[in-house]
Amino acid sequence: MSKKKEQLGQGLRALLGNIDKSDSGADLKKELVGELSKKTEEIAIDDIEINPFQPRKEFDQEELLALVQSIKSLGLIQAITVRSISESRYQIISGERRWRASKLAGLKTIPAYIRIADDQGMLEMALVENIQRSDLNPLEIAISYQRLIEECDLQHDELAKRVGKERSTVSNYVRLLKLPPDIQSALKSKKLSMGHARALIGLEDPSQQLFVYKKLVKDGLSVRQTEALVRDMKNPSQTIKKAPATVEHPEVKKIKDRLSYVLGSKVEINRTARGKGKIVIHFNSDDQFNNIVDQIDD
């Protein structure tokens, strides 16, 4: 961390520690909460501790290791949220899995939003205000929605009323955070549109999401083309079309019917336009098979 960055961090910690002592503490606190709601600070991982009241105690090891590999490759896309508990110590509010994966990935610092005591109402107002900005990419909006859900204990319908959106809109944004990291990264850098991403979340299998994502990038698929591809993958049986029936040549039909009559069995003749093909003779028992052989021998 640079000296300038370190000084900035020290200044922030000083504000956090002395905010209630200031004569204009309420105004300063409101301003600070607004800033902290949209900015992250790099915090030493070893200065962060887990929340002892966190109800979740077990983490899927396979998912954790997958996140470790993603962090090594792309970095941590979604910052964690912590509260300041002393001058240089923090406690996790949300993001323990991301924190654990970052430690396993060997990171020394981690980006974090810093909460201060009793800032629930102001944080909610600041986040809602942030979401109204026009320059946010879809992933930033999704992260803000998720923070409101986790940190302000809001349900999707309650959040929808707060931000003036349909409940389905809020849910679709939050679902973006379940997309594979490669796709989230493209969304964050605006290389992928919200329309494309909305189509991708229609698939639940991450491998299928990645397949469609790579194809849309490679072939330059439009949103509608991507939606059609997703529909085909979700309902493969509907995309299988029957081969058009071929018109059987009259002479071939006569020969097939004659063979069926002579052999006493169903006969199929599959013939191409170039004259290649095969004759298939059906039988249902050894006796019928022997009878066919006798007829051929005669």
96 is a catalytic site residue: yes
Burial class (CB in 10 A: 0-12, 13-18, 19+), 44: middle
Quote the CA–CA distance of 47 and 88 in Å, as a whole number: 7
Type of residue numbered 186: A
Choosing from 31, 96, 158, 227, which is the catalytic residue? 96
Beta-bridge partners for 271: 277
Paired strand residues for 92: 82
> In angstroms, how far apart are the furthest CA atoms of the chain?
116
Q: Decide if 231 contacts 255 (C-beta within 8 A).
A: no
Alpha-carbon Rg of the chain, whole angstroms? Answer: 32
Type of residue numbered 219: D
| Stretch (H or E) spanning 8 | helix 3-18
Please return the burial class of 38, using the count of CB atoms within 10 Å of its CB with bins 0-12, 13-18 and 19+.
middle
- Give, for 104, the enclosing helix (H) or strand (E): helix 96-104
Beta carbons within 8 Å of 79's beta carbon, 6+ residues apart: 40, 95, 110, 111, 112, 113, 143
State the CB neighbour count (10 A cutoff) for residue 151: 20
Q: How crowded is the C-beta side of 181, counted as CA atoms within 13 Å?
A: 15
Q: Which residue has the tokens 């803000």?
A: 144
Residues taking part in catalysis: 96
